[in-house]
């Protein structure tokens, strides 16, 4: 059970797998691969919180959804959001490698957790927003965006207009999971190969892939001569 502090505010991140329905026909070992992703983010959560934040970073999972929780004091909020971003900056490319690409959202507010039961305003907001994503990536919800102070960041969160189903046209902070790339053309080629393996690339799937590649291209400090999205 997660300790409930006097103030029950904190950071909540929800992520789920795109295309989980019918995944067994495409990837019989999907459960084992998803289990490895969950174990990986759990290990990194312990490493990231050590010496940085007082309370525990807790990782839960239900079916194809991974939920990350951190209770925090007011002066720890931006750091807690930063830690969630660092976890997601590993999880997003790892999920692509595992051919279980994920999207998600990070919220801030009140919540409670007991075993695999989650309730609270931040839970409701993260759950609603993570399903709006029309890409492979993660962004802050309004509650988290309103409290996040970018001065605390080391570059994992960057302002970008995430593609959402309702086309809201806003520009919150999103996880830049490409920030550590040293060979961008090689990494982009690898992602495209993974996307091809996830085929057939029907229109509704192609849109998510293209939106993801547009984000990757926007994160390039030195734009390529040829657009990254030229071929999927």
CA distances from 148 to 12, 211, 218 (A): 13, 25, 22
DSSP string, 33-52: HHHHHHHHHHHHHHHHHTTT
- What is the residue-level pLDDT of the chain in tens, covering all 232 positions? 444 444 578 999 999 998 777 776 777 788 999 999 999 999 999 887 777 776 889 999 998 999 999 999 888 999 999 999 999 999 999 999 999 999 999 999 999 998 888 999 999 999 999 988 999 999 999 999 999 987 555 679 999 999 988 877 789 999 999 998 999 999 999 999 999 988 778 887 899 999 999 999 999 866 554 555 555 4
What is the per-residue pLDDT for 222? 64
Answering whether pTM is above 0.85, one says yes
Distance CA 107, CA 158 (A): 16
What is the per-residue pLDDT for 229? 52
What is the per-residue pLDDT for 47? 84
């Amino acid at each position: 059970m997660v300790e409930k502090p006097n103030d029950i505010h904190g950071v909540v991140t929800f992520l789920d797998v795109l295309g989980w329905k019918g995944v067994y026909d495409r990837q019989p070992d999907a459960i084992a691969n998803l289990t490895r992703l969950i174990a990986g983010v759990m290990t990194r959560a312990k490493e990231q919180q050590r010496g940085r934040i007082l309370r525990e970073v807790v990782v839960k999972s239900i079916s194809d959804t991974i939920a990350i929780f951190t209770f925090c004091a007011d002066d720890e909020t931006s750091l807690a959001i930063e830690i969630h971003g660092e976890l997601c900056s590993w999880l997003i490319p790892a999920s692509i490698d595992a051919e279980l690409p994920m999207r998600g959202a990070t919220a801030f507010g009140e919540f409670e957790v007991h075993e695999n039961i989650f309730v609270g305003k931040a839970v409701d907001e993260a759950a609603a927003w993570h399903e709006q994503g029309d890409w492979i990536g993660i962004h802050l919800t309004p509650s988290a965006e309103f409290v996040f102070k970018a001065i605390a960041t080391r570059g994992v969160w960057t302002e970008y207009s995430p593609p959402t189903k309702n086309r809201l046209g806003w520009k919150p902070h999103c996880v830049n999971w490409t920030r550590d790339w040293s060979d961008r053309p090689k990494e982009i080629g690898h992602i495209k190969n993974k996307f091809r393996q996830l085929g057939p690339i029907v229109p509704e799937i192609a849109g998510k892939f293209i939106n993801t590649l547009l984000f990757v291209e926007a994160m390039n400090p030195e734009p390529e001569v040829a657009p990254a999205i030229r071929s999927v």
